[in-house]
A and B are shown apart, each in its own frame.
Chain A
Amino acid sequence: MAYIGSAVSGILDAKLVAGKGQYTADVSLPGMGYMAVVRSPYAHARILSIDTGAAQQHPGVRIVATGADIKQWSRPIPHTLNPSAFGGKTTDIYCLAIDRVHYVGTPVAAVVADTRHAATEAANLIEVEYADLPVVIDAERALEPDSPLLYPEWETNELMHVRFQGGDVERAFADADHILDDTLHLHRHTATPLEPRAALAHYDDRAERLTLWVSTQAPHPLRTTLANTLEMDENDIQVIQPQVGGAFGVKIPTYQEDPLACLLSKRTGKPVKWVEERTEHLMAGGHAREQTLKFSVACKADGTVVGLKVRIIGDVGALAAVAGWGMSYVASFVVPGPYKIPNCEVDLSIVVTNKGPWNAYRGFGKEAASFLMDRVMDRVADTVQMDRAAVRLKNFVPKDEFPYVQISGATLDSGDYAKALQDVMDKAGYQSFAEEQQRLHAQGRYIGMGVGFELTPEGGCIPDSFIGGYEGATVRVSPSGQVTVLTGVTSPGSGNETGIAQIVADALGVPLSTVRVVQGDTQACPYGLGNWSSRSLFMGGSASLYAAREVHHKVLRVAASMLKTAPEDLDCEQGRIRVKGQADREVAFNDVAEYVHKRPFDHHAFDMEPGLESTRYFRMGNIHHVPDDKGRINTYPSYPYAACVAVVEVDIETGVVTLLRYVTVHDCGTVINPLLVEGQFQGAVAQGLGGLIYEQLSYDDNGQLQTGTFMDYTLPTAVEVPSVEIHHQEVPSPFTPLGTKGAGESGVSSPFGTIVSAVENALMPFGVKIHDTPLTPQRVWRMIQAAKNGNNGGAKA
């Protein structure tokens, strides 16, 4: 295996570093118009009237559309995950609001004009008359019987209620030595890929075909959704994903602006381009994370956790068609993570409020479960006066109990959690830290070390949705021996194209430079579900491997005939096919390819199917959607994990937290490319750190977003993010042909628990206990002051 396992540079990097990547906003078509969207300035209101007269008259304007038009021209957008399929409530989402707005930023009208300036000017001329409605921005308030209702027909703001239960929880609590209760709160933030969303729609009147260039992660499901919304045949729609400038989940679903641009192109007969502004993204591009996590844990004096009750309240904002609410569902699905706690119950309320809708963000709820379980373990450790790592070691699922089924049905595939934690403690100098800490404390410095663990279920596979556990790929060899791989998975910059090329190059025994990976074109690629949940390499790569093996089998058969030997006696490396142990008996891969294409009736190839091409699909073998005897299904096939240690310093005068070190031992099974895996993990930690300390979508009581630009939505820079020390523990997945597990998402969850634990450790002299995020300087400073005053209940900033 020449390439698998080696640190090959990204195959697109040389192009991208020279500025030659073509992103959606870089694509232009003759005669295209520009779309601007009018958005609600109110968090909750009825639309009384919309006057588009002045906008229609504005020079350069091609079309103006409101919800009334959209309702005539299209159907509601199918939900990426419909809550009603989970026993929840639902509502129709059209491209534009029909008669009511539920959050600041709700799209209510759109304009297409000859230039961007003209479109913006005309959008400003649209007069929308609103009757404002009472606003609810707090999820617990939204659950009260007298709360304003977002969707009055529901008669509640609870979108969904879910309960998972296993074992005998009451008995476990009755028998416990200690019972501890706590309430945690994670704050609202979002992915913010640097490339905003963008679309270029072109409806060709003559061909009666629609082409959409769009910054998406899932072109094929988007095409299916568009066909439904626009009432067109899927055959008449082509979705093309140009280079994507980061996605992290937010570009998975079909947004309202995607079919909107298509409709307006169809109505005007000319291409329509839309590029999201950053403020639009922060208002309406999708939010994440905001949840209240209440727990009650029962443990023995030796640190064994015997029972756990969890109550999660997910504040998912207004409902959109983009599936973000599913993150709260996954948070509850993952509890109790890597721990063996058979007596466990989780009660989940997913609640709508007048804030921006949730949308998928790396972590997808797993970060909430990780934070919760890290806090549970820290609390238990502090109560029974044990080391925080030792309590985790005591409660991990043992390595000989896989596959291990959690109460939700989550079926943990493989691993050695204890070894990962012990290894990371060794690498980080966990045992000797206290000495260093005391030495620095004597100098007036507050340094702390924290330990954490994230379990990151990957490759989600939800019944009756396009969130599925399979993938397809085609491997095609041309007459000159060039290899094309067409995949159903896509890459928003995550590097799977390089990993897939490595897998295929090894399977065929050809140089990597001869392999081209084609992704993100519904006209060219096999139907696939796209990029999310770290699925691209372990599912798309597995499908590519199967297809490459099939082609390789044919190549060897022909080569064996040419070399008068048996296929199993051949080696194929770097495009040379040799008889094992006989350097002089060889044939070039390219010559075999040419032979197969040009001489299908000659004696080396006449008895096999012509062509050197294969399309194969790969399905995860450990998903089950038929409920077991306890009513459980398993929706995730792969469970990578990471044990982490963080070292922080807190400036007690200012409350500034600085992350000094972050060390991890990470298992994503077989590593195809350490350069890419480590790059993903490092980037994920940066996002987790940013989310924990710097980024916040904050709303005032009227539901106005206070952090709507990068001036106030603070992202971490190179100054704030240290280089993560990454070590690998490779426990191969038993369910994929190469042993690969999901990689790419991991790293985003652990900073919450690990860094919070480290900050508590640094502030031990004050007895600070942390319950809420973010750890902004102001909030940390207040926590210190409160603890000094004898109140460690956490600060509410």
Chain B
Amino acid sequence: MHTTIQLTVNNAPCEATVDTRTLLVDFLRDQLDLTGTHLGCATGNCGACTVVLDGLTVKACTVLAADVAGSAVTTIEGWTQDARQSGDLHPIQDAFVKHHALQCGFCTPGMVLSVQQLLKEKPNPTEAEIRHGIAGNLCRCTGYASIVKAVQEIARMSSE
């Protein structure tokens, strides 16, 4: 069964016909070619598919595309475009690069979006709050230390 949905994706209106079984992550990747959102487990555990849905992060493998009609979805592509300041990247991303808070990069877009959510809610998080804030995003490469360091730096910079 198919249905037609209207929604906003990365600030632009979007209308699409989707199979009602289609997950939001597959819709974004396959139909809109927004491949910065990754699929790692399809059980809501790894967080590689994290996107922003109506202002809150969500794992896009746990949402049906048909259910986001009328909503606003922001992916890493749109967020980077919106959020970047002087250069090509947002300061969170700059801090990730500086501290090598990524290796293979597969978890990174989801991780960055979880970090921006965390900093929105807690601009000055403790180390424990940072670790809990990103606990829904698995990283198999970094062991998280460099990510924590990057977030600490960005929090410090924004509080200065």
Contact = CB atoms under 8 A, between A and B. Distances in A.
Nearest to A673: B100
B21 A117 contact: yes
A246 B131 contact: no
Contacts, number: 190
Contact of A494 (B21, B97, B103): B103
Nearest to B131: A718
Interface in B36-93: 36-43, 45-46, 48, 75-77, 80, 88-89, 93
A19 B147 contact: no
B156 interface: no
Nearest to A714: B45
Contact of A17 (B45, B89, B140): B89
Interface string B132-157: 10111111111111111100000000
Nearest to B135: A717
B133 to A, nearest CB: 8
B98 interface: yes
A574 B159 CA distance: 37
Nearest to A717: B135
A25 B39 contact: yes
A679 B140 contact: no
Interface string A235-249: 000000001111110
B40 A194 contact: yes
A457 to B, nearest CB: 22
A717 B144 CA distance: 8
Range class of the B interface residue count? 35 or more
A721 B88 contact: no
A140 B139 CA distance: 35
Interface stretch (A262-270, A537-545, A681-689): A681-689
B108 interface: yes
B24 interface: no
A711 interface: yes
Given A246-B103, A711-B43, A117 B19 contact: yes
Interface stretch (A7-15, A70-78, A603-611): A7-15
Contact of A19 (B46, B76, B88, B103): B76
Interface residues of A, number: 60
A685 B143 contact: yes
B140 A687 contact: yes
Interface in A13-29: 13-23, 25-26, 28
A724 interface: yes
Contacts of B131: 717-719
Contacts of A20: 36
Contact of A683 (B37, B39, B141): B141
Contact of B48 (A13, A22, A194, A721): A194
A277 interface: yes
B104 A245 contact: yes
A543 B45 CA distance: 41
Given A17-B112, A18-B89, A721-B144, A679 B104 contact: no
A711 B29 CA distance: 24
A194 B143 contact: no
A680 B67 CA distance: 40
Contact of A278 (B42, B89, B103, B105): B42
A13 B96 contact: yes
A13 to B, nearest CB: 4
Interface string A467-505: 000000000000000000000000011110000000000
Interface string A90-101: 000000000000
A12 B105 contact: yes
Nearest to A675: B100
Contact of B36 (A18, A195, A687, A723): A18
Nearest to B78: A19
B97 A14 contact: yes
A422 interface: no
B145 A246 contact: no
Interface string A173-185: 0000000000000
B35 interface: yes
A193 interface: yes
Contacts of B108: 16-17, 19
Contact of A194 (B26, B77, B99, B107): B107
Nearest to A21: B105
A9 B145 contact: no
B87 to A, nearest CB: 9
Contact of A10 (B36, B37, B43, B100): B100
Contact of A718 (B39, B45, B134): B134
Given A17-B89, A719-B131, A719-B135, A244 B143 contact: no
Interface of B: 19, 21, 26, 29, 33, 35-43, 45-46, 48, 75-77, 80, 88-89, 93, 96-100, 102-109, 112, 130-132, 134-149
Q: Which 8 A-B pairs have the closest CB atoms?
A: A19-B36, A493-B104, A16-B105, A245-B106, A686-B143, A19-B76, A710-B45, A26-B35
22 contacts: A10-B100, A13-B97, A18-B93, A19-B80, A21-B105, A26-B35, A117-B21, A192-B140, A193-B106, A246-B140, A493-B104, A493-B105, A680-B103, A682-B143, A682-B146, A683-B142, A715-B45, A715-B140, A717-B131, A719-B132, A723-B143, A723-B145
Given A18-B89, A717-B137, 8 more contacts: A16-B108, A19-B35, A19-B36, A194-B38, A277-B42, A278-B43, A495-B103, A724-B143
